Amino acid sequence: MTISTMIWRYAKLNALLAVLLTGSAGPSWAGKEYSFGVLNQQPPAATAALWNPILQYLQTKTGIAFKLKMGTTVQETDAMTARGEFDFLYSNHNFDPRYAQAHYIPLAQWGGHPLVGQIVVDANSSIQTLAGLEGKTVAFPSRDAFVAYQVTVSALKQAHVTVNQVFGANQRGTAVLLQTGRADAASLNKLFSDQFQADNKTRFRVLYESEPWPNIPVQAHPRVPKPDAEAVQKTLVGMTTDPKGRALLKTLGIPGFLTVKDADYDATRRLYQEEL
């Protein structure tokens, strides 16, 4: 799905949601909005086109108000995460010890396939193996990315391959660096890589693919009252069984959310710690 398509769908959803979603309980914190932080995986317009309809659905179902919030860069969002500036958060960068001070509590993970990291090259590239990347330029979203940096850099180290690292700021920017020939390879989230190729009619070839990891979770700051956190968790997980939720998921083209617990991210924390 292209960014322009997502923006158009978002505009359409504003009208659709007004019809689909009716009735709500009173807000737990009357007159207050919870901030909802989102990791910088995509440009701001695409992030808003995806998440604002979800937040509007949550608000209508739970009676809790939300406002999308993120930094202008992933580094700024990570710093805000470390300071606990978000009430709710969609990210896995807080499992990095550098940003773990706020002790966010996982509620529900992105559904569908687990997280998988890839290192890819253009389909017509002469590079055939990780060893062929020695001394080459490889694009990454940021040093804070999990499957698209921590996991893939670990694989390069194990293969004793040294590369010139450049950064695309987010998943899309990283893919564009490869697509436009400004990088010899790119390190991406498999789900995003597949979608980017479909949207842009381009083809990448996989040199490395990681084992599966738990997907990115929606989390609550410990200051959020437990009933509110549980209401968000129940509503997100229940979207696939609620007719209105299913309609929204179909329109957005996303799989929904699954229950998750904090211990599911212990291996993620360990890898972040090892790579410090």
d(CA 119, CA 184): 10
Give the residue among 20, 41, 11 at the shortest CA–CA distance from 148: 41
What pLDDT sits at residue 164? Answer: 98
Worst-scoring range by mean pLDDT, 7-11, 69-73, 117-121?
7-11
Q: Helix (H, G, I), strand (E, B), or coil: what is residue 16?
A: helix
Q: Where are the alpha helices (DSSP H) in 21-150?
A: 44-62, 74-82
Q: How many helices (H) and strands (E) does the chain have?
A: 9, 11
Helix%, strand%, coil% for the chain, nearest 5:
45, 20, 35
pLDDT in tens, 13-33: 443 443 333 333 344 455 579
Worst-scoring range by mean pLDDT, 28-37, 119-128, 258-267?
28-37
Q: Answer positive or negative: Cα dihedral of 235, 236, 238, 241.
A: positive
What pLDDT sits at residue 11? Answer: 42
* pLDDT, greater one: 2 or 194: 194
What pLDDT sits at residue 276? Answer: 80
Domains detected in the chain: 3-113+214-274 (3.40.190.10), 117-209 (3.40.190.10)
What pLDDT sits at residue 275? Answer: 84
Give the residue among 191, 259, 248, 171 at the shortest CA–CA distance from 219: 259
pLDDT in tens, 21-64: 333 334 445 557 999 999 999 999 999 999 999 999 999 999 99
Q: Which two tokens stand for residue 128?
A: 């055939």
Report the Cα 234 to chain-centroid distance in Å: 20
* pLDDT, greater one: 1 or 273: 273
Given a cut of 70, whether residue 255 has pLDDT beyond it is yes
d(CA 148, CA 188): 5
The identity of residue 173, as a single letter, is G
For residues 24 and 56, is the Cβ–Cβ distance under 8 A?
no
Worst-scoring range by mean pLDDT, 17-21, 47-51, 161-165, 246-250?
17-21
Percent of the chain with pLDDT over 70: 89
Worst-scoring range by mean pLDDT, 21-25, 107-111, 124-128, 156-160?
21-25
Report the Cα 263 to chain-centroid distance in Å: 19
For 25, which DSSP code?
P
The pTM score is 0.86
d(CA 241, CA 126): 47
State mean pLDDT over 185-197. 97
Q: Which residue carries 């293969």 as its tokens?
A: 159
Q: Which residue carries 């959310």 as its tokens?
A: 257
Percent of the chain with pLDDT over 90: 87
- Torsion angle defined by CA atoms of residues 232, 235, 239 and 243, in that order, rounded to the nearest 10 degrees: -140
Worst-scoring range by mean pLDDT, 30-44, 99-113, 220-234, 238-252?
30-44
What pLDDT sits at residue 142? Answer: 96
